[in-house]
Structures are given as C-alpha cells and as structure tokens.
Structure 1
Amino acid sequence: MDPYLNIIKKSYSGYWNYLKNEIFFPNHWDNYFYGLIIISLAVWLLEIIFPWRKDQSIFRKDFWLDTFYMFFNFFILNLLILIALSNTVAQFLNDIMGVVGLSLKDFQLFDVNELPTGLGLLVFFLISDFVQWNTHRLLHRVPFLWNFHKVHHSVKEMGFAAHLRFHWMEPVVYNSLLYIPIAIIGNYNAKDVALVHFFAIIIGHLNHANLGWDYGVLKYIFNNPKMHIWHHAKALPKHVRYGINYGITLSLWDYIFRTNHIPHNGKDIELGFSGDDTFPKDFLSQELYPASIKPKKNQQKENT
C-alpha cells in the first residue's frame, strides 16, 4: 500500500507546485490558468458585442456560479481528486497486468508520437473527441450518470462559463473511458496536446455563449452555438428519448450517426430539463444532489 500512498502524496505536491508556478511564475505559452482567463474574456467580449439574446443581461443568471464552477473544475478539482486518482489508478492497472506479465504497452496498436506532428495530433484529437462524444451519450442514457449530468443541464441562460458547469464525477467518467483508447494509441506530447485542449476550450466556450453563430458550412464539422443550444432544450422532440446534438468539439459525429437536430432558430427556447424547478441552485447542493436521490426505474425520461 505504501507505493500508492507515495503516488497520492507526490500527485498532490506535484500539482500544487505546478498550479503555483502557473499562477505566479507564468513563463510558457501553454499556461492553462491565464489561457482560460484570456479565452473567457475574449468570448465574453464577443457576447457583449454580438449578443444573440439581446434582452439577456451581461451578468446573466448564474454568471458568478458558473464562473466559480469554471475555475473549480479546471484547477481545484484536479488538486483535490483527479490527478491523484488518475495516477493511482494507472499504477494499479499496471500492477494488476504485471502479475500476468503484461503492461499497457502490450496493447498499444501504434504510437501517435511516431507519426508526423500534424497527423499525430489530428489522430489524437479525433479519437479523443469520438470517445468523449460516446461518453456524453452515456451521461444521457444511463439514469445513474444522468443524475450527475443534470448539474450541467440546470443552466437556464446560456453564457460562456456554462461550458464548465459540471459535477465532479463527470471528468472521472470521461477520463476513465478515455484511458484505454489513449493507452492503445499512446499519449501525445503534453506541450503539443495543449493546442487540442485550448481549441476545445474555445469551441466549448463559444458553444455555450450568447452568440447566434453556426460557422456556415463548417457547422457540419464543428459544434456551434446554434446547434448546442438545442442540446440544452427543455422540451425535446417526441421521437428523441435521451437527447440530441451530443457533440463536444466536433458536430461531425452527430451528423454521421444522425443524432443531429436543429428544427429552427433556437434563440428563445426554454433551457433545462423536466423537474429542474426543484433542482438545487447553489454549488454545494448541486454537488451533493446525486447522493440525495433514490433511483427510479424510468428516471432517464426526465431529460425528454
């Protein structure tokens, strides 16, 4: 057990030192702390200059709650749970496979780092986004997971910071399901993959922003505000049971697998889910919500 405790301790101290350096000693372009701030301010400025819903306040409903979620989920959550959990689970899996003389490298089909830089990054991005798209579908289809995902769908007015309003369990699910595919292709160089992460933040912020853009013909490739607002619609079409427009960064998968749905201009549609009038309004209550409810046989119907 001692090796695992050491991993946990090193994970906490390592990430704490990393976060301090990111904030107080920024000296590289892939600084996530200031990168997130710059992207957020830029997209917020676009909301102010080109508002789609013109009667929506600049400081919309839950603006400060979502801003808190944004920094908590992007940084504090890593410090409290994710880094230590990820490193410990990775070592545990390696140890289990080591008992039978295997390692994750034995399952590796190829190493993206051995491909030309641009191609390797593209392969890493496409595989990651496809796995995340499928994971997002699971969050809607599995009642247990939907109770966590309700936090994100409790947004009643869209704005850039709503992108990162989610329950702490969501990244645990996403990262768990992404772990094996990434192990199979090899994890890409951290500095280069920062480009993918920054691009995903930009698209995610824009998807949730008070903007009426669809990017023209690029809407069939990239998720966009006019498409994603329908994912947050409170009233879904009768033929759709679990949800629509699951795209994270790419809309491509929705068009390929026919989960796309944009019936008309969704500027003024009501957002949320059935029963959201009784959903908790503050951070702590929202985080504790899944533990406070009892399973229901047809709970998945609540998001239709």
Structure 2
Amino acid sequence: MQELDKLNQLTESHGELRPGKGLISGIVALSLAILCFLGVLAFHFPEYLTTPQLRQSYNVDVIRKIMYAALVIAGGIAIFNTVFGRARWLALAAFALVALTALLGGHKVPVNDFADNTPYIGLDWFILDLLGSSLIFIFIEKLFALRKKQPVFRPEWQTDFHHFIVNHMVVGFVLLATNLLVHKLFGWAAKDGVRFWVQELPFPIALFGIILVADLVQYWTHRAYHEVPLLWRLHAVHHSAKSMDWLAGSRQHIVELLITRTLVLAPIYVLGFSKEVIDAYIVVVGFQAVFNHANVSVRLGPLRYLIVTPNFHHWHHSQDDEAIDRNYAAHFAFLDHLFGTAVQSDRKWPDRYGVQGDYVPDGFLKQLAFPFVWKKS
C-alpha cells in the first residue's frame, strides 16, 4: 500500500529528477513495463485494441522483438535497482508488471485470424507513438534545449499526457467520423479528371502540393479559431499550455480535432492524392506537429521565412502582445508573411506562453468541459 501511495505521489508531482537515486532508471523501467503490458493486451485482443489502417503497415515480428528487448531492459533495471536499494518501490512495481506481462504470454502471444470490422480503440497507435515520440524528442530536447532548466516532467505535464492518451486512443472514432463527414459533405466535389491528373504528378511535386493545400486550409481554419469567439472557446484549450515541449502539442480539444481534421482532409480527398503521397504527408505533419512545440532552440536561418520552425510556432503560443493572433501556418511560414500575420519582433524568442489572463483551468476533464461552461467576464 505504501508503494502504491509513492507511485501516486510520483504521477502527481513535477520537477527535475536527480540522478543516482534510481528514479530516472526506475521510471524508464516502469514506462517500458507499462507499454509491454499494454502490448500483450493488444496481442490478445487485436480486433478491439489495434487500428486496422496501422496494423497493415507494421511488421508484427519486429514488434515482438522490440517488446522482448523492452521486457529484458525493464526487468534488468528493476532487478538491479532492487538489489542495490535504489527506489525499490519503483523497481518492484516495474518488475511486477514485467512478470505479469510474461505470464500473459509476453512477446510470444499468437495472433490468429480475426474480424476486421469490429469497434476498436487505437492502443497500438498509442504505444508506438508514445514510445517513438518520447525516445526521439526527449533526446532532441536534451541536446538542443531552448530552456535548459525545464525538466521533462514540467508543471502540467499530466494534463497534456491525458490529452495524448485520449486523442490517440479514440483514433478509430476520429478516423471514422472524419471520413464520414468528408464523404458526406464533400463527395459531390470529387471529379475523376482532376483526380487522375493529381495522381499522375511526380511524387516530389505531389508531396509539395498536398502539404501546401493542407496548410492553406489549416491556415484559414486556424485563423478562424482565433477570430471567431465561439471557435476560440475550443482553441483556447490548446493555447493554455504554459510550457512548450514535445507533449504540449497534444493538448487539443477533441471537438477541435474533429473539425480541423475534417476540413484538412476534405481537399485531399476531393483532389485524389495517391496513398503513397498521403502516407508521406502523414509522416511530415506528424513530425512537425510535435517538433514545432518542442523545447528546442532551432531557427534554421533564412529558411525560417519559408518553413515553420519551433521558433516560429513558439511565438504563436506566446502571451506577449506582439504575438497575439499571429503565425497561423503549420508547415509553410511564408503563408503568414504573404497574408500579413507573421510576428514582427526584435527578440528571438517569446517570454511567456499561454493565454493572456490564464483563465483556462488545468486538468483534462475541466478542459474538456471548458468551451461549454466558460462565461467570459
């Protein structure tokens, strides 16, 4: 019971983790053990816990090897920390999850044929994205940190992590809802002749085209979120983050997510870009969405006037007066320069993040309700 209380205190806290006491390695072990446990559940119930579009893209044998390596690493760290008395409560929790995962079959759970049209949550997408994003972007943030004193577990990280979990778990609902809306609202606009011409474009031109089309829609949609009071109620949740890092971009109201994805996917569907081009676009947008919120000092010289960088997007999240309602583009910074909404400042980086007045509450559930209960004073 005491160990459980310590775990609860750990998840509710924030701040820098001091090396040498087993906390850092213990958290790594526990995180890997949790992901492995979720992975074994996905192996047992793939029809309900995995994303149909995603499971066609990854190699299950490779996933099994990754899970095995993660189990070995988590178990090894847990045993080492237990033997040498380093945060034993954390080590024992990690070891217990490793043992439970192994008892449930671990990486060897067979996956037989299963129905492909069942309702599901995207547990596999959550696992792969969390593992990949945390490994890549935490490493990048430590190498090129903008705010070097900002810890990985900074204030309000729990809220952003809850947004990350929910927005990834309901990926199936989001995909289904957006596809239905796109086909219902914009199906009439699809023309075979235009689609054929678009699909015949060379890959580099088509990739540039899909990003440009998506960003033009994203720009005006994003601008509407700022200029239309009713839409700002939703978007204020995203802007309420007071710290910028790889996890901050996950803070997004589910209704905003549905609206934006529907509007961005509409021209992509109508124009008929090929699957290869759409897949490449998804990689680009996935990377930029995380990287541009990251706590990294990257400006890219003159290229920053063409491409959206962390510096460009950090200004968009600033409370500083010169940054309000500026820098809307998601990919191409030249759109804001073209439409006159680029930040003009003598300073390289903003001072403060969040909404002016800090009126958005902290906590996932409170932020979920916020657009519908907020009464502007």
Q: Return the TM-score normalized by structure 1.
A: 0.77
Structure 2 residue 355 is the aligned partner of structure 1 residue 273? yes
Residue 201 of structure 1: how far off its partner (Å): 2.2
> 2:60 is matched with which residue: 25, 34, 44?
25
In 1, Cα distance between equivalents of 2:330 and 2:352: 21
Structure 1: distance between partners of 2:254 and 2:278? 23
**Which is worse superposed, 256-265 or 222-231?**
256-265
Residue of structure 2 in register with 1:206 after alignment: 291
1:1-304 equivalences under 5 Å are 16-18=51-53, 25=60, 34=128, 37-73=131-167, 75-79=168-172, 81-93=173-185, 103-106=188-191, 109-111=194-196, 112-189=198-275, 191-237=276-322, 243-265=325-347, 267=349, 269-276=351-358, 278-294=359-375
For residue 170 of structure 2, give the secondary structure of its aligned residue in structure 1.
helix
- Contact residue 52 and residue 267 of structure 1 kept, 8 A: no
Cα separation, 1, equivalents of 2:141 and 2:219: 26
Q: Aligned in 2, Cα 1:64/1:188: closer, same or farther, shift over 3 Å?
A: farther
Deviation at 1:27, TM superposition (A): 6.4
8 Å contact kept, 2:194–2:271: yes
Q: Give the Cα–Cα distance (whole angstroms) in 1 for the partners of residues 220 and 308 of structure 2.
A: 15
Where does structure 2 lack aligned partners over 5 or more consecutive residues?
1-46, 64-123
How far the C-alpha of 1:227 sits from its partner, in A, is: 1.8
Q: CA deviation at 1:182?
A: 2.4
Alignment partners' CA distance in 2, 1:259 and 1:161: 26
Shift of 1:86: 2.4
Partner amino acid, structure 1, of 2:238: H
Query: Larger C-alpha radius of gyration, 1 or 2?
Result: 2
Shift in alpha-carbon separation, 1:195–1:37, aligned structure 2, 3 A: farther
Deviation at 1:245, TM superposition (A): 0.8
SS of the counterpart of 2:161? helix
- The one of the two structures with greater contact order (alpha-carbon pairs below 8 A, sep at least 6) is 1
- CA spacing shift, 1:108–1:126, aligned 2, 3 Å: farther
Question: What CA RMSD, in Å, does the superposition of the two structures yield over aligned residues?
Answer: 3.1
Unaligned runs of 5+ in 1: 1-11, 98-102, 300-304
Letter in 2 for 1:162: A
Cα distance in 2 for residues equivalent to 1:167 and 1:43: 23
- Which residue number corresponds to residue 302 of structure 1? none
Q: The residue matched to 2:297 in structure 1 has which SS?
A: coil
Distance (Å, rounded) in 2 between the aligned partners of 1:26 and 1:120: 33
The 1:57/1:214 distance shift into structure 2, 3 A limit, reads same
Task: Name the stretch that deviates more: 214-223 or 64-73.
Answer: 64-73
C-alpha distance 175-268 of structure 1, shift in aligned 2 (>3 A): closer
Shift of 1:168: 0.6
Shift of 1:48: 1.3
Give % identity: 28
